């Protein structure tokens, strides 16, 4: 049963930040509530104040500029991201990821910022956004700052947010020329959380060698993480079977999977190895097919 709480519904971002600063010692932010309400019903989370930012239109938008890239407001729904023609044209991997996230009902109400703030290592958006080099803009009543998403996660369900900070925006840089991005998760049920997930973004040089690589692993440790060892295997090299094997092995070694009711540590580690090699190949092929 959910414990009684005081419900706060600010009319603006500034009011939300001021209310959060006032009640931060015993206050939770709710947006879509797809994760928080479950935890509250289970008695795992109890709070004196619940601050609802869902209806803040200032944080509900999708924008793109060819120099600055993509900016998505924190309360923008997963369904909006999925159906956005702008995102589908410039970051198709984001649209594809959203189609695999839970159910349409969840995507209609759950929000991108809420998903990232929840900090579940099995979440879908974080690996893709990390592979794309995303940053989160966060703020409190005193000002704002930006945090690279690959530095945002501290531990399972823990982030680098200060006690009085709220995610305001998600920013994704414009894709470099000859860049391909892909995402895949291995799950037992369609649209369920991935037992393991891998996102890969590959940028090729003019000579077809790997100029840059970003590989992100989901549900392969306490936080969504980059596999920098796998990335280093790729940079400066041309595509080959041995290169894919080396990258997969490096990612599997760097991962920190656990054993639970869904899979053993050994099985997850092997999945990381296989999926990493597969995603690198797919991203490489996409990058090679992009017109200069």
The answer, yes or no, to whether residue 276 has pLDDT greater than 80, is yes
Per CATH, the number for 59-172 is 3.30.465.10
- pLDDT, tens digit (0-9, with 9 covering 90-100), for 58-84: 999 999 999 999 999 999 999 999 999
CA–centroid distance for 108 within its chain:
17
pLDDT value, residue 140: 97
pLDDT value, residue 272: 98
pLDDT value, residue 69: 98
Closest CA to 106 of 84, 125, 89, 133: 125
Class level of CATH domain 6-51: alpha beta
The answer, yes or no, to whether residue 191 has pLDDT greater than 80, is no
Q: Any idea which residue has 């709710």 for tokens?
A: 30
Mean pLDDT, residues 197-221 taken together: 97
Q: Across all residues in the chain, what is the average pLDDT?
A: 96
pLDDT value, residue 292: 57
Stretch among 27-41, 142-156, 158-172, 197-211 having the lowest mean pLDDT = 27-41
pLDDT value, residue 193: 87
> For the chain, what are the domain ranges?
6-51, 59-172, 179-289
Which two three-digit tokens encode residue 175? 């894709």
CB atoms within 10 A of CB 242: 8
Mean pLDDT, residues 235-246 taken together: 98
Closest CA to 150 of 78, 216, 91, 95: 216
CA triplet 282, 283, 289: central angle to 5 degrees?
90
pTM to 2 decimal places = 0.97
290 — pLDDT class (breaks 50, 70, 90): confident
User: Which CATH number does the domain 179-289 belong to among 3.30.70.3270, 3.30.390.50, 3.40.50.2300, 3.40.50.1110?
Assistant: 3.30.390.50
């Amino acid at each position: 049963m959910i414990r009684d709480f005081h419900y706060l519904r600010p009319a603006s971002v500034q009011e939300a930040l001021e209310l959060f600063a006032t009640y931060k010692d015993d206050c939770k932010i709710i947006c879509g509530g797809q994760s928080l309400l479950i935890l509250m019903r289970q008695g795992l989370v109890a709070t004196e104040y619940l601050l609802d930012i869902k209806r803040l239109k200032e944080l509900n938008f999708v924008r793109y500029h060819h120099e600055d890239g993509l900016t998505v407001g924190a309360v923008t729904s997963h369904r909006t991201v999925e159906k956005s023609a702008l995102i589908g044209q410039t970051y198709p991997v984001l649209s594809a990821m959203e189609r695999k996230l839970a159910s349409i009902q969840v995507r209609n109400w759950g929000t991108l910022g809420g998903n990232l703030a929840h900090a579940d290592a099995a979440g879908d958006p974080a690996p893709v956004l990390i592979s794309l080099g995303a940053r989160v803009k966060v703020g409190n009543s005193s000002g704002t700052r930006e945090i690279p998403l690959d530095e945002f996660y501290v531990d399972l369900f823990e982030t680098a947010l200060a006690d009085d900070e709220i995610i305001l925006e998600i920013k994704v840089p414009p894709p470099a020329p000859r860049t391909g991005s892909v995402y895949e998760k291995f799950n037992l049920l369609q649209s369920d959380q991935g037992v393991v997930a891998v996102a890969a973004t590959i940028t090729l040089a003019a000579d077809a060698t790997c100029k840059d690589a970003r590989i992100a692993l989901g549900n392969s440790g306490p936080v969504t993480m980059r596999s920098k060892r796998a990335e280093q295997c790729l940079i400066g090299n041309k595509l080959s079977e041995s290169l894919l094997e080396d990258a997969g092995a490096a990612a599997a070694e760097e991962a920190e999977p656990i054993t639970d009711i869904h899979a053993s540590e050994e099985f997850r580690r092997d999945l990381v190895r296989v999926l990493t090699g597969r995603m690198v190949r797919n991203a490489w092929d996409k990058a090679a097919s992009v017109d200069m």
